[in-house]
Chain A
């Protein structure tokens, strides 16, 4: 499924420069090139088989069994759809993790992109120190996914952290946000938004490509800044917005490290940070229910595929590609 959805962006790319050269070469050379092609491709092909294809097929099979990694293969039993049935009907923690993950992505991704676009617009017009600002805004994207930073983040939102220290300046007595089921996930959303630098850099590159004539023409027509933003910037930027949206949504669904650090690997407090991948880890690697974990992995894969497909099919209606370039 990933292949069909991914085809779209690669249509343009799969036409290698040489593809249009319809010159017949001597047959021997062509054959030799074919052989060479597979020789050069062989590490990737082996990787595709050993690291991707075989494990995936194996896990599809295992998702229909009660495999638990500890007992020998001879004790593995075919259980049919039992794992899937349990997931959808008998496991409240599963639905909890689905809700947590979706609400995380639904809130954090749009906010992150909005901040990224806003800052990119500010930077695009600034004339001095753009490079420095851009670099420093990008820094959190480089380190934000690490355990070390997640540890700092959790402490920042803890009882004696910097956030409560700041609130005390205004006489507000905060709480240990990370231990509160109502706010724990929010602190992780803020961490995600803090890493707005990566999409911002992509927005900046996109803004550079908007022809200035369009803004001049809009000015002549008496358009104000908001009108220009709505009628020039947004449509011209829509392919980049689309690119960022797909990328960040897929990333957002996979948040693991910060949730693990905040909850010490449990998804707590009260399952409030039980991201899907964290639940997957708990089921597979601490409870050793590999059959069930495999089923969870496959549902996740299919869900990501469907979401990507929905993005690409709705993209037609709002993504504007100038002069049929793509």
Chain B
């Protein structure tokens, strides 16, 4: 009896010690993970000489000049690049949300010939590497006159209105499967057509899936680089990622400060999304992946 209680006590004590060790390890990892971000912000406030001499986290002399200088570093101001990025991202959000919802409704709820076949194709396109598709798409879009037109964003935006982000279609199909079928049946008995069911049952109930799609569409488009690099060729049309590469071309010591300042600013919207929707971002994406 005594031996037993001693053992329990020892186990409890070692459990506590283990908890401390565990937390210490986690904090150490967290420091490593967050250090680059802190260093980025700190360096963006360092003056020109300090960037070379001070590799530490904090500037000894706090100088916000990098931000004003970076903003107007090129012939076109960063306001324009922000605007372009925002426009592409918002149009992508609208396109993805609308077109993927409609396609998902067909897959999740309607019975039509060859549905299984198309569904398999849709899943297959999930695995298609985007870079591989960009070469042939560029050739075709060029033939269609979409590349470098008056509004050069056509090849970036139009595909998003055609439910080409299979990931979001899949996510929404998974979500709609959780909506009770009885609601459809009840609406059907009341004389609703498939369109009515979509409009009055599925659409209002799919809001959470739409929000997830919208947020991830925005963040992914904001960060997307390859396609924007390929399709945008005029400075005034550049989005943020493409504009940022101009700093690499001109990477003398003098432009490092402004470059860091603009890096911070261009990551800020994503960071704000992260703060506002942290829980949803972390949970939303993983459950859709393995719930299947």
| Residues of A that sit less than 8 Å from B by CB | 2-3, 5-7, 9-10, 12-14, 16-18, 30, 32-38, 40-41, 43-48, 50-52, 54-56, 58-59, 62, 67, 69, 119, 122-123, 125-127, 131, 133-140, 142-143, 145-149, 151-153, 155-156, 160-162, 164-166, 168, 194, 198, 201-202, 204-206, 239-240, 243, 247, 250, 253-254, 256-257, 260-261, 264-265, 277, 280-281, 284-285, 290, 293-294, 297-298, 300-301, 304, 308
Contact = CB atoms under 8 A, between A and B. Distances in A.
B131 interface: yes
A264 B248 contact: yes
Contacts of A257: 225-226, 241
Contact of A300 (B53, B132, B285, B287): B132
Given A17-B181, A43-B103, A148-B266, 16 more contacts: A10-B292, A41-B103, A43-B99, A44-B99, A45-B118, A46-B162, A55-B137, A137-B30, A149-B40, A152-B39, A194-B36, A202-B289, A239-B290, A256-B131, A260-B245, A285-B230
Nearest to A153: B36
Contact of A194 (B33, B57, B256): B33
Contacts, number: 316
A273 to B, nearest CB: 13
Interface in B99-157: 99, 102-103, 105-113, 115-116, 118-133, 135-140, 142
B292 A13 contact: yes
Interface string B230-273: 10000000001110110111000000100110111011001101
Contact of A50 (B26, B120, B162): B162
A290 to B, nearest CB: 6
Contact of B36 (A37, A156, A198): A156
A243 B290 contact: yes
Interface in B12-35: 19, 22-23, 25-26, 29-30, 33-35
B84 interface: no
B207 to A, nearest CB: 18
B86 interface: no
B123 A10 contact: yes
Contact of A9 (B140, B164, B242, B292): B292
Nearest to A199: B286
A160 B282 contact: no
Contact of B55 (A143, A153, A165): A165
A62 B56 CA distance: 52
A40 B102 contact: yes
A35 B245 CA distance: 48
A18 B111 contact: yes
Nearest to A301: B132
A52 B141 CA distance: 12
B139 A37 contact: no
Among B40, B51, B56, B131, which residue has the most Cβ atoms of chain A within 10 A?
B131
Contact of B159 (A17, A51, A277): A51
A297 B194 CA distance: 41
30 contacts: A2-B127, A3-B121, A3-B123, A13-B123, A34-B113, A36-B195, A43-B161, A43-B162, A44-B163, A46-B162, A47-B159, A50-B159, A56-B133, A59-B139, A126-B19, A135-B282, A139-B37, A148-B262, A155-B260, A156-B36, A160-B53, A161-B55, A162-B39, A162-B56, A204-B286, A250-B127, A260-B225, A264-B249, A294-B135, A300-B129
B193 A202 contact: no
Please give me the 9 A-B residue pairs with the lowest Cβ-Cβ distance, nearest first: A165-B55, A47-B162, A37-B112, A59-B136, A55-B136, A36-B194, A3-B124, A40-B106, A44-B103
B12 to A, nearest CB: 14
Contact of B131 (A6, A156, A165, A277): A277
Contacts of B137: 51, 55
A41 B132 contact: no
Contacts of B263: 148-149, 151-152
Contacts of B19: 126-127
Contacts of B142: 69
B279 interface: yes
Contacts of A44: 99, 102-103, 106, 118, 122, 162-163, 169
A145 B223 contact: yes
Contacts of A9: 123, 292
Given A40-B103, A51-B162, A151-B259, A123 B127 contact: no
A54 B259 contact: no
Contacts of B259: 151
B140 A58 contact: yes
Nearest to A251: B129
B241 A140 contact: no
A168 B240 CA distance: 34
A126 B139 contact: no
A207 B285 CA distance: 16
B95 to A, nearest CB: 9
B290 A206 contact: yes
B39 A156 contact: yes
A277 B181 CA distance: 44
A63 B214 CA distance: 37
A43 B163 contact: yes
B139 A62 contact: yes
A136 B282 CA distance: 10
Contacts of A301: 128-129, 132
Contacts of B110: 33-34, 36-37, 40
Contacts of B102: 40, 43-44
B90 interface: no
B111 to A, nearest CB: 6
A125 B23 CA distance: 10
